[in-house]
Structure 1
């Protein structure tokens, strides 16, 4: 077993994100995990669950707690798991045996820092085929593993009881086409806003935060419900008729393996995506379309003919974060 440290990048409150899921499941596999939040002064460390510790005051922890912890656990391998390449120059403070760079996105502003991050890392993981091909071309001597995103069974979306959850009061009645995710520049807003015109009798619900894009004013057939807590999402998913991934095609989305696809499938819902490479690989469980009109037409079809829910759920259960951690453990063993 190893000690795994995730340096301050994303606050633990965003526990749906890939780093939090991986750290949680590393801990469940017996590793000791320290997930470092961005600095909150004088807030004590907390144990979120067995083997998983949330470090709030990182500066204090690295100065006073980590040296004694390292001494008391002498002989255990220390691994730093980093998904933010800008931190490359600061990772030496942990004295790690191994640094793993988890490349999760292709944001242009991260690119200037990537080469140094790859240099200091003993191994690299990534989330999509496009990222894998680019990284293997640029860094052919660096050990590399493709580890896609996954479903967290703790959400309970695969359980029969989800169907009996009460309908959230702010979710409109009748058939609902739903998007769960950030209202961001990579969302094809014209596609989403045009759906009610083609999907007669259906409402559209957007569930998620504003992120670089502002909501429009609610219409009678378009409902912006805002950010919901992680534990609330099951009730919303239970009452969606069709779930969508309405992303524009650009360098960011071409490299994206959407977590929401696995969650939608776990709930057994029909899933329609724009032409994303990673979603094409999820066919036939995910429907992929090439035009806005085809997307809208298929949404209308799936309301009347949703297709095999149980097959989607069973597929999602073969694609869990536990599966991903086992894959990573095998990769780490090969690095030894």
Structure 2
């Protein structure tokens, strides 16, 4: 799973001292995550930040391992109402020892800091191994992806997911296709796709100062931001760049679970690396077309990319491979074009470049995004939780 480098802004805190007495009036929402808070700002960060208005959120990440490390829990506050908990463990522990250490660290922390009412929010069923003893008023499974289809997925993930499904009071899915699959396994499943912070990305509709590493790149610019992993269609990107050397492809994001040496290298392909969430509109403002070159395979069968509405909110037309939820949600929108081959992708980009100059293009985008917001998504989630409390 995701074991990225330790966030630099955190500092270790030992929790084997005498716990303080908790005096929390609000429920504690314990989010168990396979994604790190400081990695890519996406659904977990948006949702937890909104829910922190009503609950005291604990965001518990997967362990970081180091030679000779003591079993400690790192504690930080990355956002208002959010407490980030990162276990530090020594190398060489068996899986049962890792689970026992996480259980002990978490129990010690909850003894001193949790409210009387505990809500459990699972982003991964693998966390069940060290939390199955906790008594929660409500247990939520936010199934944002089909994790079993991802590269490097634990072999027992599906078995753990079945156990979590049996325990969960409510299941949220990151898209409609995923809901179709999970609703057959749980009677209280709801499709709540990832949404968009329209105000944040709408800044890209204005001319913003060019980031230094993008300023010297010629137009037209075709851009992508997100994680570059096994879901990325490397061959498509390579062929697109080869057949249209006059187009500049700008790729922003970390390379994860694939060898960076396998990525295509051409003069018109620009890898700018990971960027912070606040910086994304600055880059998007300078793009002519936004790309979603996802491979069509098992790892993308159920995805519902957050970047679709983010690109659109920035006023940028989108060209995507035929991801099921993108076709279902945006295929007839007139602002997202679906293309299944390199030849079709080139034609779609050409059409998108023309469409962006047409009168009424931004109005069509606004119609597509109408009513879409993280506030709406999180309010629906909270309503389900409150009905179960």
Q: Does 1:214 align with 2:214?
A: no
Other-structure match for 2:132: 92
What pairs with 1:123-142 in structure 2 (closer than 5 Å)?
123-139=170-186, 142=187
> Structure 2, unaligned stretches of length 5 or more?
1-25, 65-70, 88-101
Q: Is the Cα contact below 8 Å between 1:100 and 1:123 reproduced in 2? A: yes
Q: Does 1:290 align with 2:373?
A: no
| 1:287 match: secondary structure | strand
Q: Does 1:81 align with 2:121?
A: yes
1:168 maps to which of 212, 215, 228:
212
Instruction: Indicate the larger mover: 52-61 or 122-131.
Output: 52-61
How far apart are 1:206 and its partner, in Å?
A: 1.4
Q: Find the aligned partners of 2:228 and 2:193 in 1 and give their Cα distance.
A: 23
Instruction: Indicate the larger mover: 232-241 or 191-200.
Output: 191-200
TM-score, normalization by structure 2: 0.76
How far apart are 1:311 and its partner, in Å?
A: 3.6
| 1:165 match: secondary structure | coil
| 1:117 match: secondary structure | helix
Q: Find the aligned partners of 2:158 and 2:109 in 1 and give their Cα distance.
A: 33
Q: Find the aligned partners of 1:162 and 1:56 in 2 and give their Cα distance.
A: 39
Other-structure match for 1:324: 377
Runs of 4+ in 1 over 6 A off after TM superposition: none
| 1:164 match: secondary structure | coil
Q: Aligned-pair RMSD on alpha carbons?
A: 2.6
2:352 maps to which of 302, 307, 311:
302
TM-score, normalization by structure 1: 0.87
Other-structure match for 1:312: 365
What pairs with 1:1-336 in structure 2 (closer than 5 Å)?
2-28=27-53, 30-39=54-63, 45-57=75-87, 62-70=106-114, 73-74=115-116, 77-106=117-146, 107-108=148-149, 109=153, 110-139=157-186, 142-153=187-198, 156-159=200-203, 162-170=206-214, 172-199=217-244, 201-211=246-256, 212-215=258-261, 216=263, 218-280=265-327, 281-283=329-331, 284=333, 285-306=335-356, 307=358, 308-313=361-366, 315-316=368-369, 318-336=371-389
Q: Find the aligned partners of 1:278 and 1:217 in 2 and give their Cα distance.
A: 27
| 1:224 match: secondary structure | strand
Q: Find the aligned partners of 1:317 and 1:5 in 2 and give their Cα distance.
A: 32
Q: Find the aligned partners of 1:185 and 1:68 in 2 and give their Cα distance.
A: 41
How far apart are 1:122 and its partner, in Å?
A: 1.5
Q: Which has the higher helix share?
A: 1
| 1:327 match: secondary structure | helix
